[in-house]
Amino acid sequence: MAILKIARMGHPVLARRADPIMDPKAAEIQRLIDDMVDTMRDAGGAGLAAPQVHVPLRLVIFHAPTSRTEGEAVPLTVLINPEIEPLDAELQVGYEGCLSLPGMTGAVPRWRRIRYGGLDREGNRIEREAEGFHARVVQHECDHLDGVLYPSRMTDLGNFGFVEEIRRRMEGEG
């Protein structure tokens, strides 16, 4: 296992569409998943997409403790060749960060409730419904597979900035 180097915004691997994985059980995919889990834990992120570690394949991992979700914890999930559909038209705006934009944060509208599917690391089908933070992290990670970073989903770049500054501003408001 290894901690991988994370690509930062501006690197072309983050701007292209990633390719489907033909064989989830292939040894190099299993190794990539293990390394991505190590890398996400080391960096303290809630999720990581393969393009962020310079591998243009359709693979994301994510997890969230109950403190982030206001309810059920999101178990560590490996999702290969994922698809997402919204369950209704409701959007929710929330602050996001990304390991590829270190130190930055921005308010991003996302579908509040989604259904998502894909394959796990054994090639078994996963189907889930998610809402709130869980739905947000899945949408954020899957965007990476289409070359989309969260700033391009923002509707007001006035809510984009360095974490320390945005936090200071929010504390001032509160």
**Residue 59 vs 98, nearer CB to Ni ion:** 98
Shortest Cβ distance from residue 99 to Ni ion (Å)? 6
d(C-alpha 46, C-alpha 144), whole Å: 14
Enzyme catalytic residues: 141
Query: Do residues 47 and 140 touch, judged by C-beta distance below 8 A?
Result: yes
**Residue 55 vs 98, nearer CB to Ni ion:** 98
d(C-alpha 142, C-alpha 128), whole Å: 15
Shortest Cβ distance from residue 100 to Ni ion (Å)? 5
Q: Calculate the CA dihedral of residues 157, 16, 101, 60 and round it to 10 degrees.
A: 110
Shortest Cβ distance from residue 141 to Ni ion (Å)? 7
Shortest Cβ distance from residue 144 to Ni ion (Å)? 6
Positions that interact with Ni ion (CB under 5 A): 98
Contacts from 95-98 at CB under 8 Å and sequence distance 24+? 95/159, 95/166, 96/136, 96/140, 96/150, 97/163, 98/9, 98/140, 98/149, 98/150
Residue nearest to Ni ion (CB): 98
When computed from its CA atoms, the radius of gyration of the chain, rounded to whole angstroms, is 16
**Residue 5 vs 25, nearer CB to Ni ion:** 5
**Residue 102 vs 123, nearer CB to Ni ion:** 102
